[in-house]
């Protein structure tokens, strides 16, 4: 038999088990004129970072520790990934290693 107390307990269990999830965001990094823009970006874990190449030549967005790599992005191509680790991570373009950027995830 359902008592008021049982119902309240059930409601608390249902509400109490809902994880508190910060809404994830999309961030955009443009690759233009052989530069990442912005060069440095703060994200939260779970956020998505979208790279878009606006140059005529192909570029990549590649983590220096090689944990992720866009592969060649042709003009107007997009590639996205979701930040899963906290910390600071530099990335570069394998074709033009002077092109550098940094993600800071918390
Ligand atoms: Cu490049």
Q: Where are the domains of the chain?
A: 21-105
Give the number of residues written for the chain.
106
CA of 58 to the centre of ligand 1 (A): 6
At the top level of CATH, the class of 21-105 is mainly beta
Distance CA 46, CA 29 (A): 16
CA of 46 to the centre of ligand 1 (A): 26
At 13 the pLDDT is 47
Rounded to the nearest integer, the mean pLDDT of the chain is 88
At 18 the pLDDT is 53
At 40 the pLDDT is 98
Query: In this predicted model, which residue has the larger pLDDT, 29 or 6?
Result: 29
CA of 2 to the centre of ligand 1 (A): 66
Q: Which residues are near ligand 1, the ion (C-beta closer than 5 Å)?
A: 59, 93, 95-96
């Amino acid at each position: 038999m359902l008592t008021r107390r049982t119902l309240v307990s059930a409601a608390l269990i249902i509400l109490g088990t809902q994880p508190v999830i910060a809404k994830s965001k999309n961030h955009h990094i443009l690759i233009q004129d052989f530069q990442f823009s912005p060069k440095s970006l703060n994200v939260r874990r779970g956020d998505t970072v979208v790279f878009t190449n606006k140059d005529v030549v192909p570029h990549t967005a590649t983590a220096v520790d090689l944990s992720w790599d866009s592969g060649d992005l042709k003009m107007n191509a997009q590639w996205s990934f979701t930040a899963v680790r906290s910390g600071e991570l530099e990335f570069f373009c394998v074709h033009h290693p002077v092109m550098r950027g940094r993600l800071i995830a918390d």
